[in-house]
Amino acid sequence: MRNKKIKKISFIAALIVAVTIIISGFTRDQKLFQLNKNLDIYYSVIRELNSFYVDGIKPEKLIKTSIDDMLSTLDPYTTYIPESEMDNFKFMTDGEYAGIGAIIGKHDNNIIISEPYEGLPAQKAGLKAGDILKKIDGKSTENMTTEQVSNYLKGKPDEIVQIKIQRPGNKKPLNFKITREKVQLNPVPYEGMLKNNTGYIYLSNFWKGCGDEVKNIVIDLKKQGAKRLILDLRSNPGGLLNEAVKIVNIFVPKGSEVVNTRGKMKQWNSDYKATENPIDTIMPLAVLVNRGSASASEIVSGSLQDQDRAVIIGSRTFGKGLVQTTRDLGYESKLKVTTAKYYIPSGRCIQALDYTHRNEDGSVGNIPDSLISEFKTGKGRIVYDGGGIIPDIKMESLTMSTLGINLDQKFMCFDFATQYAISHKSIPSPDDFEITDEIYNEFRNFLKQKNFSYKTVSEDVLEKMVEIAKKEKRYNNAKNEFSRLKEKITPNLDKDLNENKNEIKKLLTNEIVSRYYYQKGAIKATLKKDKTVDKALNILSNTDTLSSVFASGTIIKMKKEIN
């Protein structure tokens, strides 16, 4: 009851402030009066609660809750960052922190090492994926959250952290002394040469410095004989706008428009152009995207598409056309606030969701079809705004099967890879390693030994239908039909393993190869059977096909198909 009261009070206070800020039709003085009036009321509410609430309050928690509730009425990118979260914020923008260099996760109520990064303290000390973290500096991890364990593993560079782990396959626990280091994650976890003299770059994030990193890699790949290039931005969530501009600049002439931003205040209106001499403006270039490609990824892919510089291959991108700026609030806290929208060279904004005009229930809908406009690329190809970047060459959007999702969520592939690594000291190189039928059958038996089972969404729906039918006293009339339907939709593990064999083999390849060759090796292994990469290789090698992509008048996506 107490929590409900506090939440209700904070929500009301936040709502008052939010509504006041967006009121239109007032003069500047009237708006300022309304703002000051409601801020004074808000302060009074907190003061009165602190003085008289029966059980006492935690002002910091109460105020943060009210701020978060207020900002949630705007968009998901406008957020309050207290001092306690500044390290995480810095990591999200720079890919930098001080720690041991490992991803951790929770599995069977244990905190485990999910992946040690190659060349960083955890891997150099000998920690392995699957290790269970038991103690950190003498503190038991039992009942700790992953966030708490992560905070204990982080610290100042050159400090020693003592870790006790239990390794699968070992009876006795192992102790490690690991020296924390300043960790700068590489935004390009893999680059290399593919067939047909094609260079390949996988960019995972737009962290600080990634523009120069990609530039140097392009130069190096050209020295290795690259005549074509694939830039993989699939599942890249974006990051720093300036880094996106630098990457576009690698491929377009100096002075070319890359992107411009337009906001409420003139200070947020900026035109971003290529300011340096490019590395290569004629090399055939493909950019790979998918639904997880967002923000800066869409600036790069969209700008190169608008300038007819690259063929975009994959599935439609996320559709985030909003720009955020951080503002200092004092006491080491910040406000990350949406200050502008960005527009790529054709003049379009690719924002997909309309946060300004919410539905009556508060939900957010897509930009309405009536507001979607037609634009043209430099060569006259027709493109549209309001729905992400539509690829020139569309590939089927890959969705994981229900079986694959359950195997991932229940750590089945992860645990099998851990067990496999215990019994196999080495495996072939990532180029040569394959999940043979023998290995796949081992995995099949492993699942049965673990008594693995799972439910489909259709099973859940059927169970709810049965419950409703019983309440309505209609179940007995349709009992036989329900039973037959249940029999048809109940998972058959052997059957599903056969039907989803290629997908599961890919999951197993990623997990097993990463045990021996880490992230770089896992990416290299999965590229061998990547249909989107194969498509890019074929298009870049066929001059006629590539030319047809950029033909004047081409309609990249019909307007009516964007919904």
Per-residue pLDDT tens over the stretch 126-169? 999 999 999 999 999 999 999 999 999 998 899 999 999 999 99
Co-location of 149 and 263 in the same domain = no
- 199-212: burial string, b at 16+ Cβ within 10 Å, e else: bbbbbbbbbbbbbe
CA distance 327 to 337: 8
Phi/psi zone of residue 560: left (φ > 0), alpha (ψ -120 to 50 degrees), beta? alpha
Give yes or no for a contact between 16 and 35, defined as CB atoms under 8 angstroms apart: no
Instruction: Among 35-49, 114-128, 137-151, 250-264, name the one with the lowest average pLDDT.
Output: 35-49
> Residue with structure tokens 């239908």?
465
Q: What are the catalytic residues? A: 295, 320
The β-bridge partners of 200 are 192, 230
Of 74-88, 262-276, 301-315, give the lowest mean pLDDT range: 74-88
Sign of the dihedral defined by the CA atoms of residues 121, 125, 131, 135, in that order: negative
The strand pair at 353-354 and 365-366 is best described as antiparallel
Residue 510, token pair as written in the block: 């990623």
Structural domain contains residue 66:
yes
Structure tokens at 521: 């090796």
CB atoms within 10 A of CB 479: 12
User: Is there a single domain that holds both residue 381 and residue 418?
Assistant: no
Position 507 in a domain: yes
| Nearest Cα residue to 187 out of 173, 169, 202 | 202
CATH number at residue 307: 3.90.226.10
**78 within a domain of the structure (yes/no):** no
- Say what the pLDDT of residue 247 is: 98
The domain boundary, picked from 184, 210, 232, lies at 184
Report the pLDDT value the prediction gives residue 478, as an integer from 0 to 100. 85
β-bridge partners, 199:
193, 229
Same domain, 384 and 527: no
In one letter, which amino acid is 465?
M
Quote the domain boundaries for residue 144.
Answer: 96-184
Q: Which band of pLDDT confidence, cut at 50, 70 and 90, is reported for residue 557?
A: low
Domain membership of residue 87 (yes or no) is no
* Number of domains, the chain: 4
Give the span between the Cα atoms of 288 and 231, in whole angstroms. Answer: 6
Same domain, 165 and 253: no
* 457 within a domain of the structure (yes/no): yes
- Give per-residue pLDDT as tens, 415-459: 999 999 999 999 999 999 999 999 999 999 999 999 999 888 888
Judge whether residue 17 has pLDDT over 50. no
Q: Provide the pLDDT for residue 198.
A: 98
- Least confident range from 24-33, 39-48, 105-114: namely 24-33
Together in a domain, 211 and 355: yes
Alpha carbon of 448 to those of 407, 420, 494, 498, 499: distances in Å?
Answer: 13, 16, 10, 15, 17
168, 130 in Cβ contact below 8 A?
yes
pLDDT tens track for 381-409: 999 988 899 999 999 887 889 999 999 99
Confidence of residue 1 (pLDDT cuts 50, 70, 90): very low
Same domain, 328 and 205: yes
- Give the integer Cα–Cα distance in Å for 179 and 26: 59
- pLDDT bin (cut points 50, 70, 90) of residue 27 is low
- Report which of residues 451 and 267 the model is more confident about: 451
The pLDDT of residue 26 is 53
Q: How far is CA 259 from CA 128, 247, 256, 300, in A?
A: 43, 12, 9, 9
* 156 phi/psi in degrees, rounded to 5: -75, 145
134 and 22 co-located in one domain: no
Q: Residue type at 445? A: N
What's the pLDDT at 554? 75
Residue 500 lies in a domain: yes
- For residue 9, pLDDT beyond 50: no
CA angle 7, 8, 10 (to 5 degrees): 65
Question: In the prediction, which pLDDT does 43 show?
Answer: 87
Query: Would you say the C-alpha torsion 49, 52, 54, 58 has a positive or negative sign?
Result: positive
What is the pLDDT, as a whole number, of residue 267?
86
Q: Answer whether residue 2 shows pLDDT above 50.
A: no
- Alpha helices in 290-430, H assignment, sequence order: 296-306, 402-409, 412-423
CA 553 to chain CA centroid, nearest Å: 34
Q: How many CB atoms lie within 10 A of CB 81?
A: 18
Are the CB atoms for 319 and 387 separated by under 8 Å? yes
pLDDT in tens, 293-306: 999 999 999 999 99
pLDDT of 86:
81
pTM: 0.86
Q: Does the residue 546 lie in any domain?
A: no
How sure is the predictor about 563, in pLDDT bands with cuts at 50, 70 and 90?
Answer: very low
Q: What pLDDT does residue 424 have?
A: 96
What CATH code is carried by the domain that includes residue 141?
Answer: 2.30.42.10
pLDDT surpassing 80 at residue 25: no
Same domain, 114 and 261: no
Q: Are residues 202 and 287 in the same domain?
A: yes
Examine the domain organization and report whether 173 and 203 are in the same domain. Answer: no
Evaluate whether residue 440 is within a structural domain: yes
Q: How far apart are CA 354 and CA 257, in angstroms?
A: 26
312 shares its domain with 372:
yes
User: In 3D, which of 419, 477, 483, 479 has the Cα closest to residue 449?
Assistant: 419
Residue 247 near residue 227 (C-beta atoms within 8 A): no
Residue 430 Cα to chain centre, angstroms:
25
Q: What is the pLDDT of residue 536?
A: 97
